[in-house]
Every structure is written in structure tokens, then in C-alpha cells.
Chain A
Amino acid sequence: ADWDMPTPYPDATFHTVNINQFADDIRNATDGGLNITVHSAGSLIKHGEIKNAVRGGQVQIGEFFLSLLANEDAAYGVDSQPFVATSYDDAKKLWDAQKPVITELLARQKLVPLYAVPWPPQGLYTNKEIATVDDLKGLKFRSYNAALEKFASLAGAAPTQVEVPDIPQAFSTGQVEAMITSPSTGANGKAWDYVSHYTPINAWVPKNIVVVNKAAFEALDEATRSAVLEAAAAAEARGWEMSMKETDVQTAVLKENGMSVVEPSAELLEGLMKIGEQMQAEWQDSASEQAKSIVADFAK
């Protein structure tokens, strides 16, 4: 069979490197019986439409940023809740708790999750040193979803909406003064061109997920299906390793290019944790039962 696989991120991003390897593994394991063409960087289907395109059978398999679906069910967004899971160990534990719930939710959309790989832990980009939460007060803080907006407000910052392509210009002109993203995203976008300080606060560890259309998957013969699952398991293990390595490599890249990489002070972390707890309490009021069960399971 020939499958098309739209992915949102460019070729050099480690997620895409991993996916290309995944496609090669399947091609080799099936002797070309299943040939997956990877369409990277949103070149075939835009990021926001990938899930629905796989669901509708327009393409058979695809990748997207899992918490993009947080507005559909809070369960998809637990990995982007600030200061819930902040290390790879925690992230792994959270994914173990999240996976059965997500599998069930996606099954309703005729989708089967194959594997998920985390981004490096999210850090803080600013143009001055941030020693305490008070230093964030009044800063224009890039927020693109409800959780981030809440976070910015609780930190006393001004949530500001800036679309990805406008980020460099927005920093240069002061339209935005702080953002949270991974060291990969920062290094790939040459963040040192417009921002001076990076504080690895490890706010959360979000994931990309690879899903396959249920009907397309079931149309494969037994041997091919197990080849896909095997390659997926390998890709997940490889992806987590790549992500960990990426964290160190890209943080070093930020430093080499003249950015001040400042380890967060105990005071800052304590303040941020407090905000995280407050958010968690409010989140409990509105989240779905499934989402709450994930967090309860994780907290065990």
C-alpha cells in the first residue's frame, strides 16, 4: 500500500527526522509492501487540519501537536498544563496515564494512536534576567491557548497574541517581551537574533503524536500491521532519546550564540510552582472526567 503522511514541522526538526526513520523502517520491514510518503512542514495538509484529514481518510497517517486538541477534551492537554510534569521521568509517567484515555477518545474519531514523542522541556525567553515571578510583572507575554493566557495573568504579565511568523519582529519592536517554548524551537528560529535571556524553567513537556486512520490500519494484512506497530514502538523509544539529547544540544546552541542561559533561582521556581498549583485547582473545576482521571492516575 502507499500511504501519505502529512506532518507539521520542517525536515530538520528531530520529530521529522524520527518520522522519516519510522517510514524507512516500515518500508524495509515490509519489503516495500507499505510505502509511506512523508509530507513535512505542513506542505500537504496544514497543522490544524491534519487530525481531521486522517479521520476522514484523506490521508492514512499523520502527526500533530497533541495539546492542540485541548479545547476538544482537556485530556489531550494535560501535558501542556504548567508545572504538572516537568521532567522526562514525569512526562513518561504522565504519558502512561494519558495513553489509555487518549486511545479511547481517538477511537471515537476512528483514529488509532501509534506513538508520542515529547518536545524538550519548555523554557522562558526574555530580554532581561528573571529572578523572581515579580520580574514577569507587566511583561507582554506570548499566549496562544487558554492555559498560557491563564498562566500569564496569574504571573501578573500581559497575555499577548503573536502568530509564529511575527515573533522575531514582535520581540524587536517590544510588542512581546516574553515567551515560553522549547530550546529546539528557540534554536531553530535563531532566537538570539531578537532575545537575550533563556531560563530553563521546565514548565511542561508537551508531545507530538502520530495517529493512523483505523480503517486504513485494519485494511493492512497481519504481518504489515505488526511491522507498523514494531516500527512505532522503536520510533517512540528513539524519539524520547532524541528529545533528551536535543535538550542539551540546543540549550548549548543558545549559549554558543551569545544568549545568557540562566538556571532558574529557587525563588522563581517556587513562585512558578505556586501558580501551577493554583491553575491546577481551577483546572479541576472545568476539566472532563477523563482528564481528571489522568491527573489522579499520574499523582499516584
Chain B
Amino acid sequence: MRKLLDGVYIGSGLLSAGLIAAICLLVTGQVLLNLITKFGPFDVNLTIPSYADFAGYMLAASSFLALAYTLTRGGHIRVTMLLNTVPARLRLVSEVACLALGAATAGFASYYMYLLTHESFEFGDMSSGIIAIPLYIPQSVVCAGLVILTGALIDLTVRTVRAGRPMLIQTSTE
């Protein structure tokens, strides 16, 4: 189970990184085509249709898929200055409360993102650009990212309570 969960966090992180690489490649492709159109010897029209739409949707997918991976690596920003001044016992209570509150918020967001995706599928919502992209496709990925984040927060809450000490690595220097 432990291995499976960690695998999911890392897997979604890798997928997210792959999407960033894909955005780079897509945009680079378009710039190269612009270069060829401008300075190349051929009289051609070269564009990747709806590349800005695709880049935007991949960006959304990437941002949300990386949520859990970023969380487990201590990448999300929080203010720790005050927490570092309180006794360890209170620190632990506060950590559990933050994790539980985060899990609840992420769960709430996941549920409504699911409803939005479902509605978008039912009504056949489409992007408005040159290529019609059904919106439920990128929205499902966003929803999946939120669900994985919710899972990671619940997982961390349980582990923190069991271990009796904060589990997340602290990036704070002071």
C-alpha cells in the first residue's frame, strides 16, 4: 500500500514533468515553423493548429497533476516562522489540523471539479479554437490531480498521527 501510494505521487509528478516538456516541444515546434516561414525558401503556410489552446490545457493538467508530488517534497509554500517557536506538542496538533483542513479543502474542490467535468461531458462543451477539443478531457486530468492531492493529504494526516511527529520535510532555513 505504502509503495502504491508513493508510486502514484511520483508517477503523477513524472507525468506532470512530461507535460511541461511537451509544452516546450510544442511551442518550439511552432517557433521553428515560424522561422521556416519567415526565412525558408518555400512559399508555405506552416502552423500547428490551436497550439496555444493545447499548451494552455497541458499547463492546467501539469499544474494539477504535480500537486501531490510537490506536497510530498515540501514544495508548497506555508508560513513556518510562528510554528517553529511553539512547543513540539502544539506543533504536532497544528500540523495534523493543517493536513486535515487541507484534505477537506482538496476533497471539496475535487468533488466540485468532478461535477464540472461531468456537466461539461454531458453538454458536450468544446474549446472555441481552430481544433474543437472536448473540454472534459483536460478537465478530467485536473480533477484527477485534485483527487490524488486529497489522497496524499489524508495519507499524510494518518501517518503523522501514527508517527506522533511531523512527516513532511521542512524547507525552512530559519
Q: Point out residues on A near B: beta carbons under 8 Å.
A: 48, 52, 55-56, 68-72, 108-109, 138, 140, 143-146, 149, 152-153, 157-161, 163, 174-175
Task: Check if B128 is an interface residue, CB within 8 A of chain A.
Answer: yes
Whether B123 lies near A55 (C-beta < 8 A) is yes
Whether B127 lies near A71 (C-beta < 8 A) is yes
Whether A145 lies near B119 (C-beta < 8 A) is no
Whether A153 contacts B45 in the complex (CB less than 8 A), given A56-B119, A161-B51, comes out as yes
- Report the Cα distance A77→B120, complex, angstroms: 20
Indicate with 1 or 0, residue by residue over B130-157, a CB within 8 angstroms of chain A CB atoms: 1110000000000000000000000000
- Report the Cα distance A56→B44, complex, angstroms: 44
B interface, how many residues as a size bin? 20 to 34
Whether B52 lies near A161 (C-beta < 8 A) is yes
Q: Using CB atoms, name the residue of chain A closest to B45.
A: A158
Whether B129 lies near A159 (C-beta < 8 A) is no
Q: Using CB atoms, name the residue of chain B closest to A73.
A: B124
> Of B47, B124, B130, which contacts A145 at CB under 8 A?
B130
Whether A72 contacts B124 in the complex (CB less than 8 A), given A143-B130, A175-B34, comes out as yes
> Of B45, B123, B126, B129, which contacts A144 at CB under 8 A?
B129
Task: Check if B6 is an interface residue, CB within 8 A of chain A.
Answer: no
- Report the Cα distance A153→B49, complex, angstroms: 13
Q: Point out residues on B near A: beta carbons under 8 Å.
A: 34, 37-38, 43-47, 49-52, 116, 119-120, 123-132
Other 10 A-B pairs with CB < 8 A, given A52-B119, A145-B130: A56-B116, A56-B119, A69-B126, A71-B127, A72-B125, A140-B37, A144-B129, A144-B130, A158-B47, A163-B52
The 9 closest A-B pairs by CB, nearest first: A71-B132, A71-B126, A158-B45, A68-B128, A72-B126, A149-B130, A146-B130, A109-B123, A159-B47
Q: Using CB atoms, name the residue of chain B closest to A52.
A: B125
Whether A149 lies near B119 (C-beta < 8 A) is no
B37 contact set on A, CB distance < 8 A: 140, 158
Return B116 CB to nearest CB of chain A, in Å.
8
Whether A145 lies near B43 (C-beta < 8 A) is no
Return B36 CB to nearest CB of chain A, in Å.
11
Return B43 CB to nearest CB of chain A, in Å.
6
B47 contact set on A, CB distance < 8 A: 158-161
A108 contact set on B, CB distance < 8 A: 123
Return B171 CB to nearest CB of chain A, in Å.
33
Whether A71 lies near B45 (C-beta < 8 A) is no
- Report the Cα distance A185→B123, complex, angstroms: 31
B45 contact set on A, CB distance < 8 A: 152-153, 157-159
